[in-house]
Structure 1
Amino acid sequence: MRDTTGTLNRFDRQLWKKFWKLAKPYWFSEQKWKARRLLLNLVVLTVLVNGINVGISFIFRNIDTSLARFPNTGDSSTFWRLIALYAGLLVIATPIVVLFDFVREKLGLHWREWLTNRFLERYLYNRAYYQINLDAKIDNPDQRIADDVRAFSRTSLSFLLVILSSVITLISFTGVLLSISVALSMTLIAYAIVGTVITAWLGRRLIGINFNQLKREADFRYGLVHVRDNAEAIAFYQGEVAELAQLRKRFGDALRNFDLLIRWERNLGFFTSSYNFLVRALPYLVVAPIYFAGQTDFGAITQAAIAFDQIFRALSLVISQFEVLTAFAAGVNRLGSFAEAVEPTALAQRKSTTITTTKDEQLALDRVTLLTPNYQRTLVNNLSLKLNLGEGLAIVGHSGSGKSSLLRAIAGLWNTGLGHIARPVLGEMLFLPQRPYMVLGSLRDQLLYPHRDCSSDEAQLNRVLEQVNLAELPERVGGFDVELDWANTLSLGEQQRLAFARLLLAQPRYAILDEATSALDLDNEQHLYQQLQEMKIAFISVGHRMSLLQYHHYVLKLEGNTHWQLLLAQTYDAA
């Protein structure tokens, strides 16, 4: 059965390919020897655990046989000697089992650390996070990095060890079972094979449902985070009813899918429960006639039950782990899709569009035609301009005419269209959006972002804050090293002035300002632009205020129908 999730409905080649592509790099990475050493320790511990289980089966066989013979022999010493042997075996087995769990968790921890760092590097490499958000094909990348990576590393290791343990168990107990009854061995194998086939057929639908459940749970969580991040705006709009409706919708989607999930698990449970109940009686049904015929001792029934249970669990791996397996398959698909999206080659293919960019000392646009990323709308047609150091360009136009989009093209975020852009390296350009980005960290981090490794003493930081009329800020918040929720601590006007402080510290050759003073009064705006002019850098501003024009040499007017005009600021007529 295949639905909208396509190949998710069973473990096909594509899913296994994604799994191997995710798993392989760690075992051949710079940490491969540590990983392989821990895995070897787990293999040794697994062999020891199975050897202990085999020993326990013989001990309990002899215990039951001694109890059965006691009425005739009156000998209880054999029973107590075997109990003492079992107690000694437990003393040895306990640290082995504990160490097995510890080493498994330790290896899972190392694997998660390596895989998470790998995804973080690729997620932030070459602005992959921006492209993914723009394409909107990969939902909730935060969940995939935080939750799916953790589940992948732990569950992959658990399945590997379960499979390894199952193989060792088969080898260890098959001989035990064959020595008791060949018929019992054949019955067990046939029973396990039939059960596995039926379970796989009944449960294949669960993979797609689990995939959808992960997505809908993440969507609901994102809705809650969205309300938290936009609490003030929602309060101003009194949008509680609308927000409650969208949260209930997302939660309802998750609940409906979960209801479907538990109904399918119920259907699978009808078979697996009866399957597991029946297996408890099978060894007795097969071995009892042999015992009644006097062909084996009483303890053989107990040992047969133990061996049967161990081999049955090994052969019924798909049945016992199916629910976990379906959730794991959904996670592998989500993580595999994310890994493909952040591959450098995939990013290069997405970026192989027609606006070319080269590095130059000055910023110049040569016959640039800019389209939206989906190619559905042309914003600017055949635009050419050049901006020298010390000059300022103001971009004006109606809302939706492409002002901010042109800045994205200059920054290299959008490149759908035609033409060529020459610009300095991005490290020599600083972009100030209307709502500045407030990093997670201290006031010092805010000022030095994105170059946190830069060394600036507090005297210099105080001087820069004074230049943007925020001299009292360090004392107000408790110093440069106090970490606060800056987006909610500072007003938008203070955030915009803090962004200007970053600019003054960074001293770029070019500054790009997108409504960067929209929340400031005219006096503060004038003060900040005077600071820019004194720096002798080139800057481009997007804004609607006529007051901005006096600080710029040129005005680029976007007329909204792909047409544009480039004028001297003193000759520009807003009408």
Structure 2
Amino acid sequence: MSSATYQPITSINMGPPRHVEESESSSTDMERLALDCLFVRRFRRLAGIVLSNAGAALVMVVLLLLSVAYEVIVYQLGLTTSQFYVVLGKKHWWGFLNQTAFCLGLIALVAFVKSGKQYVSSTVTVQWRQLLTKRLQELYFSGKVHYRVNVVETGIDNPDQRITQDVDRLCQVLCDIVPTLLISPFTIAYYSYQSFSVAGYIGPLAVFVYFIISTLVSKLLITRVVPRVYELEKQEGRFRYKHAQVRANSESVAFLDGEFAELDSTEDHLVELVKAQQSVYNRQLPLNLGVYFTDYAGSILSFLIIAVPLFTGAYDDISTADLSGIISKNTFVSMYLISCFSKLVDLSSGISTVAGNTHRISVLLERMEAINEEDNLMEKIKQANKPSKDDDSDASDEAAPQFVLKNVSYGSPYDDNIFAEGLTLELRPPRSVFVTGPSNSGKTSLLRILKGLWTPLSGSVTREFRGSLFLPQVAWFGSGSLRSQLYYPYAPPKTTPHEEGEIWRLVELAELGHLLKRSGGLDSSLQPMWYESLSPGERQRLSFLRVLCQRPKMALLDEATSALDEDTQVKLYRECRKLGITTVTIGHHACLEPLHEATLELHGAARGGTWTLKERDQTPNGDSTVVENAQS
């Protein structure tokens, strides 16, 4: 027996600070979310993602053209009222018929343009959602970003909701308000000129003053609503996630008689949700009060405007019929000018929703981009420091170490527990290693270090992923056929009749022939959530079949057979040895230990992060060799 003592190294390959990040949704941070320069910058960024697509930009141009056409037709239709006053006042029969026919034509045209505008707006919504979601998903599944934002970091709540529900709501509201925002400056300028031509400078000036006051009030009130919308979206996500948890673990809850506990928990989430929802409505009350006052007050402003030139004698020399037409035209122009401003004020609620969702989506986007940049930088550093291969080396790729840990210390990123100190380990074919130890001793965490999901506190890790396959503790299955499950995440290869027979042999070896009959064969499409009907043992056997079908050089297995009986476990592992698959196994079952050449026992934080590595002599009566670290 030989031993080696290692001193902890704390100056090499240091990981990130070990603490739980403060939630971004604290009250102080939430109050900073408003209609400010940060919102403008974030909105421009999201708009740039969408409009960089030529097709989306073209459809947006079509939407704007239809919006302009709609405004032109509405203007012509609005003037028909004043013309009716004139022809009716003069009792002009043919003029009345012509005006009626012209008006009916405009009505048909405006109906066609408005319906087309709404259809194109819906199409824009779909395109925007697709482009934004695609960009977010590309970042989300880039490297291990999804793992970082969901598991390692706690600063971003409900990333799934931000990618799905928040993007959808943002795009729907945006497509309703963007045409109005872009067209309004032109319509306001045109109707201001028309108002000036009828009522003088009093007309547009009165409307401008009226709008400026209402806008300032709305801006103040919107700023108070935005952070509450942000908080509401967060609570909606938490409430939905709680129910999704219960759905996914319904059988466990039933076995544990946990219905009353889950009811209490969901009630607590509901209380927080309705509190956030009521808070939004409380803040929207004064906002809506200002919006509706602006809408209804504008209805009499047009008459106040025309009253000034009328009572000062500007129209004394005009006939009654023509005066009726002028008053009608002024009423329409002033009312529509006020309507243009009122539409902008009415957008307050929509803008608050846009602002809240823009901040939520942008926070996730910015963090994922930062993680991606960090990973790319680390990869460049790793490649720069990677030693060049010795051209004269006779070592084959098969014998080259796949994972090398040198003086590695690692622990949980959520607390100060150190699972292992100064761990030095080489994992290479054909040497299989059995990793064991008490619960919470860092066995699964070791796989996280090997996979690169966690960063060690000190030491160095060399990883060669080619030819390796990881099986997590919780079996995961996606959509598609049974064949696609066996080769996940890769596309199933084309097989010869001999290879097809081998797959069926392995399926029978794993005692899953009944699953093939139930699903209709290897290539039949499976129903959504099909795997929920599988027992834990069936899930583990199906997951283990990935190793046997894909045949990596090395399989790293995290208690991948814990739900199986010993005979089945031994049978599957012996098949791995037969196929030349080296296994690194995390487990507790003693029946698996003899099937490995070495055993690594982790003692955990309770024993100071010590560990024992025992090499198994392959001769029948040979002694084992032990390498054990010690604290100095």
Q: CA deviation at 1:365?
A: 1.4
- 1:490-509 to structure 2, matched below 5 A, reads 490-509=534-553
**Alignment match of 2:514 (pick from 465, 472, 480):** 472
Given the alignment of the two structures, is residue 564 of structure 1 paired with residue 611 of structure 2, yes or no? yes
Structure 1 CA distance, aligned partners of 2:581 and 2:486? 19
Given the alignment of the two structures, is residue 379 of structure 1 paired with residue 405 of structure 2, yes or no? no
Letter in 1 for 2:518: R
Q: CA deviation at 1:386?
A: 1.6
Gap change, CA 1:569 and 1:491, over 3 Å in 2: farther
Q: Is the 8 A contact 1:283 1:301 kept in 2?
A: no
Structure 2 CA distance, aligned partners of 1:19 and 1:393? 52
| Partner secondary structure for residue 144 of structure 2 | helix
Letter in 2 for 1:376: D
Gap change, CA 1:487 and 1:284, over 3 Å in 2: same
Letter in 2 for 1:532: C
Q: CA deviation at 1:346?
A: 4.7
Given the alignment of the two structures, is residue 328 of structure 1 paired with residue 354 of structure 2, yes or no? yes
Letter in 1 for 2:149: I
Which residue matches 1:406?
446
**Alignment match of 1:542 (pick from 561, 577, 586):** 586
Question: What residue ranges of structure 2 are gaps of 5+ in the alignment?
Answer: 1-25, 388-396, 618-623, 627-632
Q: Is the 8 A contact 1:54 1:172 kept in 2?
A: no
Letter in 2 for 1:62: Q
| Partner secondary structure for residue 516 of structure 1 | coil
Structure 1 CA distance, aligned partners of 2:219 and 2:515? 64
Q: Is the 8 A contact 2:133 2:167 kept in 1?
A: yes
Q: CA deviation at 1:500?
A: 1.5
Structure 1 CA distance, aligned partners of 2:27 and 2:545? 54
Q: TM-score, normalised by structure 1?
A: 0.92
| Partner secondary structure for residue 552 of structure 2 | coil
Structure 2 CA distance, aligned partners of 1:291 and 1:127? 73
Q: CA deviation at 1:105?
A: 2.1
Q: Is the 8 A contact 1:8 1:207 kept in 2?
A: no
Which residue matches 2:146?
129
- Considering only aligned residues, what root-mean-square deviation do their CA atoms show, in Å? 2.4
**Alignment match of 1:175 (pick from 186, 193, 200):** 193
Which residue matches 1:337?
363
Q: CA deviation at 1:51?
A: 1.4
Which residue matches 1:274?
293
Structure 2 CA distance, aligned partners of 1:460 and 1:557? 36
Gap change, CA 1:455 and 1:309, over 3 Å in 2: farther
- Structure 1 window deviating more from structure 2 (308-317 vs 361-370): it is 308-317
| Partner secondary structure for residue 339 of structure 2 | helix
Q: CA deviation at 1:549?
A: 1.0
| Partner secondary structure for residue 369 of structure 1 | strand
Structure 2 CA distance, aligned partners of 1:41 and 1:388? 61
Q: Is the 8 A contact 1:122 1:344 kept in 2?
A: no
Gap change, CA 1:473 and 1:41, over 3 Å in 2: closer
**Alignment match of 2:531 (pick from 487, 494, 497):** 487
Q: Is the 8 A contact 2:432 2:582 kept in 1?
A: yes
Gap change, CA 1:434 and 1:35, over 3 Å in 2: closer
Given the alignment of the two structures, is residue 12 of structure 1 paired with residue 45 of structure 2, yes or no? no
Q: TM-score, normalised by structure 2?
A: 0.84
- 1:134-283 to structure 2, matched below 5 A, reads 134-181=152-199, 182-283=201-302
- Structure 1 window deviating more from structure 2 (126-135 vs 264-273): it is 264-273
**Alignment match of 1:58 (pick from 64, 76, 79):** 79
Q: Is the 8 A contact 1:196 1:316 kept in 2?
A: no
Q: CA deviation at 1:228?
A: 0.1
**Alignment match of 2:554 (pick from 510, 513, 519):** 510
Which residue matches 2:493?
454
Given the alignment of the two structures, is residue 348 of structure 1 paired with residue 394 of structure 2, yes or no? no
Structure 1 CA distance, aligned partners of 2:92 and 2:475? 86
| Partner secondary structure for residue 342 of structure 1 | helix
Aligned length: 563
Q: CA deviation at 1:356?
A: 6.7
| Partner secondary structure for residue 190 of structure 1 | helix
What whole-Å deviation, never above 9, does each CA across 1:79-113 have from its counterpart, x for those lacking one?
A: 33212211122233322222222222223322222
- 1:265-304 to structure 2, matched below 5 A, reads 265-291=284-310, 293=313, 294-295=315-316, 297-304=323-330
Q: CA deviation at 1:405?
A: 0.2
Letter in 1 for 2:548: L
What whole-Å deviation, never above 9, does each CA across 1:12-71 have from its counterpart, x for those lacking one?
A: 11111111111113322xx32x2332222223222221211221232211212333x2xx
What whole-Å deviation, never above 9, does each CA across 1:279-323 have from its counterpart, x for those lacking one?
A: 101111221353454346112222222222222233344421111
Question: What residue ranges of structure 1 are gaps of 5+ in the alignment?
Answer: none
- Structure 1 window deviating more from structure 2 (101-110 vs 114-123): it is 101-110
Which residue matches 1:430?
469
| Partner secondary structure for residue 415 of structure 1 | coil
Structure 2 CA distance, aligned partners of 1:291 and 1:450? 78
Letter in 2 for 1:438: F
Higher normalized helix content (fraction of residues) = 1
Gap change, CA 1:408 and 1:348, over 3 Å in 2: same
| Partner secondary structure for residue 126 of structure 1 | coil
Q: CA deviation at 1:278?
A: 1.5
Structure 2 CA distance, aligned partners of 1:405 and 1:36? 47
Structure 2 CA distance, aligned partners of 1:118 and 1:407? 30
Structure 1 CA distance, aligned partners of 2:335 and 2:495? 68
Q: CA deviation at 1:345?
A: 5.3
Letter in 1 for 2:129: R
Structure 2 CA distance, aligned partners of 1:547 and 1:345? 42
Which residue matches 1:119?
136
**Alignment match of 2:340 (pick from 314, 318, 329):** 314
**Alignment match of 2:481 (pick from 434, 439, 442):** 442
Q: CA deviation at 1:497?
A: 1.1
Which residue matches 1:533?
577
Q: Which has the higher contact order (CA 8 A, sep 6+)?
A: 2
Q: CA deviation at 1:222?
A: 0.6
Structure 1 CA distance, aligned partners of 2:612 and 2:127? 58
- Structure 1 window deviating more from structure 2 (106-115 vs 505-514): it is 106-115
Letter in 1 for 2:579: M
Letter in 1 for 2:172: R
Q: CA deviation at 1:451?
A: 1.2
Structure 2 CA distance, aligned partners of 1:449 and 1:179? 72
Q: CA deviation at 1:156?
A: 3.0
Q: CA deviation at 1:233?
A: 0.7
